[in-house]
Amino acid sequence: QSALTQPRSVSGSPGQSVTISCTGTSRDIGNYNYVSWYQQHPGKPPKVVIHDVTKRPSGVPDRFSGSKSGNTAFLTISGLEADDEADYYCCSYAGRDVHVVFGGGTRLAVL
């Protein structure tokens, strides 16, 4: 069981928007602004698409955005494209004892 809870799957049609949630606790997401999101295509290493809750690395389209409310973080992908179909993982800092926790991952299907 992962420390952060994500839906197992979400889906959307090309051009639509989807939002993936990542629920933690007051010991991780709720207490720190260190949430990152990773996109992983089959057989490839993960790629960071959002860090520090809302920041987008250079080269990541502005269709990807991040936010947080309380103990839950969100990744929103707008204008869905076929290549967005992948697994998405959230990650949070969780303090000096636990350090880093990942979510269980969400499979995004672009129908």
Partner 1 sequence: QVQLQESGPGLVKPSETLSLICSVSGFSIRDGFFWGWVRQAPGKGLEWIGSINHSGDAYYSSSLKSRVTLSVDTPNNQISLRVKSVTATDTATYYCGRGAVATIDYWGQGILVNVSS
Note whether 45 binds partner 1 by CB under 8 A. Answer: yes
**CB neighbour list of residue 104: distance below 8 Å, 6 or more residues apart:** 1, 2, 4, 5, 6, 8, 89
91 binds partner 1 (CB under 8 A): yes
Print the binding letters for residues 47-86 with partner 1: x by CB under 8 A, - otherwise. xx--xx----x-----------------------------
Element spanning 96, H or E? helix 95-98
Q: Which residues bind partner 1 (CB under 8 A)?
A: 2, 32, 34-36, 38, 40, 45-48, 51-52, 57, 89, 91-93, 97-105
